[in-house]
Structure 1
Amino acid sequence: MSQFFLNNQNNFSNTPFTSNTNIKFGDKLIYYGGMISTVGAVIAFIGSSIVYEEDLKESEENSQESSINQHQLQEMQQQIQLLQRKINQLEQDQGR
């Protein structure tokens, strides 16, 4: 079995490959693969945070547009009701 995982922290300076123990190629692959996967996970997290924030902003804009559209619809309904009253009043005046 490789001595890579059995070494204590005193044998390592900056990286596990600076010690005098016999390091196998597979150990290096495990070490660097772990580093690369960690960096990849961080990049994926940042990317997902950006996408989430964009979706959140988009939904806020849609809700604001929806409230504006709702307000415009209410105003239009009020104007239609007012016009209908005026039409009814004109019809009554003509019938007299």
Structure 2
Amino acid sequence: MARPKKTDVPDTAQAMELSAGAIERLTCRNDIKAQAFLRDTKVPGLRVRVTNTGHKSFVYEAKLNRQTIRRTIGDVRTWTIEQARTEARRRPF
């Protein structure tokens, strides 16, 4: 598989192993959506959320009583991917 170009936006419909490059390329379409999520394959529930203003953060997402609950872990500029994975593993609601 070829390495993606720096201008290629990752496919948010598919889960992928989070990497610094994929997080850097992640954008949100501001014409129809307020936020977009990139799912991690290593830790279920870990997501990177990007808003239409371009702010990116790690979040943990799960279902509780049939409702989606999201908790922000931290900004992608201050948390490493491994730190976010560790935090997401210990985050039951």
Q: TM-score range by the shorter chain?
A: under 0.3
The structure where strand makes up a greater share of residues is 2
Query: Which structure's CA Rg is the greater one?
Result: 1
Normalising by structure 2, what TM-score?
A: 0.20
Which of the pair has the greater relative contact order for Cα pairs under 8 Å at 6+ separation? Answer: 2
